Structure 1
Amino acid sequence: MSRFTKYNRYNAPQESLPHLDKAQELHGFLPNLLGYMAESPSLLGSYLFLSEQVNHTDLTQTERQVVLMTVNRFHECRYCMAGHSQFSEAHGVDMEVIDAIRDDRPLSNPKFVVLRNFTLKLVEARGVVSQALVSDFFNAGYSRRNALEVIALIALKTMSNYTNHLVGTDLDGFAMNQRWVPVNER
């Protein structure tokens, strides 16, 4: 049983209320993750701010989802993998991309292969990567700005993935049909 409280508009800390109102307006409901994050107004506010900022990168929607879902998969975050699978599908990301990341299969788009590998190596090595990896990233057509944007996306997912693991967040209803289980548990 979780020792953490999932808050709502009626019982959340006062400092979290503006953030919860913003989340409700943005999503049309209060995602379970954000209800738990409300315990810490600084975490909730930081997460919502960074969520907004990463939507303004030079990376395409599909590229952002490749990064986000790669981090979700690495961290084995069931909540975020299900939510991003549903979100990606609803926003026109090719199901081949979604399924390849979910199932740890190769991607067919060479540029996405490089992006996924770059992201995964950054996470695995905690940012200490080879110049060959960075060169591969640039040679695929990505920029220095994109490299730094990948770091912002990794930071966003680290906040949500770690929170979900710590508190045991249940899936939101909209993501139930995208339930995900790590390959090693199938």
Structure 2
Amino acid sequence: MPRLNRLTPDTAVGASRDLLAELVSRHGQVGDMVSTMAHSPAVLGGYLQLSRAMGRARLDRRISERISIAIQVRQGCGLCLDAHVSAARALGVDEEEIERARAGTSADPAIAAIVTLALQIYREPTSITDEQIAALREYGYSDRATADVVGVVALNILTGAFNLLAGLTPESGTDA
């Protein structure tokens, strides 16, 4: 059961009302996470800005979805995990690779290396080594794509932690 109420453009106030009204006018509706985030205009605005910015990331979306799956398995947000598994499937990631992503790896050594980096950023960023970054370059990852991993991890921490705080689950929520 959700712990925080959903807001609408009619029930939200200030900047949140304006953000929700804009989103509803553009998309027709907003999901539970976004409408619940509206309790904090700072959180909602930050989420929207980071989400838009990550839409311009250079990291292949099939890879970022695998990273998101790996992070959400560990963070425990079922709502986010379901959304990222669905997105990975829609992008053509097969079931075996989705299962590997859940385990924090991939059959492709290059993808496994970047998923490992993401999990280190999530758990223990001080453990990242110069050799690890050099290996990512050898796999063909640009510095920009490598830096984008931090954004993917940050977005997952934000959405997963928010959904867990708010009590949004696959049964109660409609977005991640």
Q: Give the TM-score taking structure 1 as reference length.
A: 0.81
Percent of pairs identical after alignment? Answer: 24
Change (3 A) 1:65 1:13: same
Q: What's the C-alpha RMSD, in Å, of the aligned pairs?
A: 2.4
Summarize deviations over 1:136-162 as a string: whole Å, max 9, x none: 222221121112111111111111111
Change (3 A) 1:105 1:40: closer
1:15, 1:41 within 8 Å by CA — same for their partners in 2?
yes
Summarize deviations over 1:102-125 as a string: whole Å, max 9, x none: 3x2742222211111111112111
Change (3 A) 1:168 1:90: same
1:69, 1:101 within 8 Å by CA — same for their partners in 2?
yes
| CA distance, structure 1, for counterparts of residue 22 and residue 89 of structure 2 | 24
Change (3 A) 1:135 1:26: farther
- Residue 166 of structure 1 aligns to a residue whose secondary structure is helix
* Equivalent residue number for residue 179 of structure 1: none
- Worse overlay, 5-14 or 49-58: 5-14
For residues 32-71 of structure 1, the aligned pairs below 5 Å read 32-71=32-71
Moved over 6 A (4+): none
Q: State the AA in 2 paired with 1:158.
A: I
Summarize deviations over 1:40-66 as a string: whole Å, max 9, x none: 011101101111111111111102212
1:22 deviates by 4.3
Summarize deviations over 1:67-115 as a string: whole Å, max 9, x none: 222221221211100111122223333333323223x274222221111
* Equivalent residue number for residue 158 of structure 1: 157
Task: Tell whether 2:107 aligns with 1:112.
Answer: no
- Worse overlay, 24-33 or 147-156: 24-33
Q: Give the TM-score taking structure 2 as reference length.
A: 0.85
Q: State the AA in 2 paired with 1:136.
A: A
Count matched residues: 174
Consecutive unaligned residues in structure 1, runs of 5 or more? 176-186
1:70, 1:116 within 8 Å by CA — same for their partners in 2?
yes
Summarize deviations over 1:15-34 as a string: whole Å, max 9, x none: 11232244446655311111
2:3, 2:166 within 8 Å by CA — same for their partners in 1?
yes
Change (3 A) 1:5 1:85: same
* Equivalent residue number for residue 130 of structure 1: 129
Consecutive unaligned residues in structure 2, runs of 5 or more? none
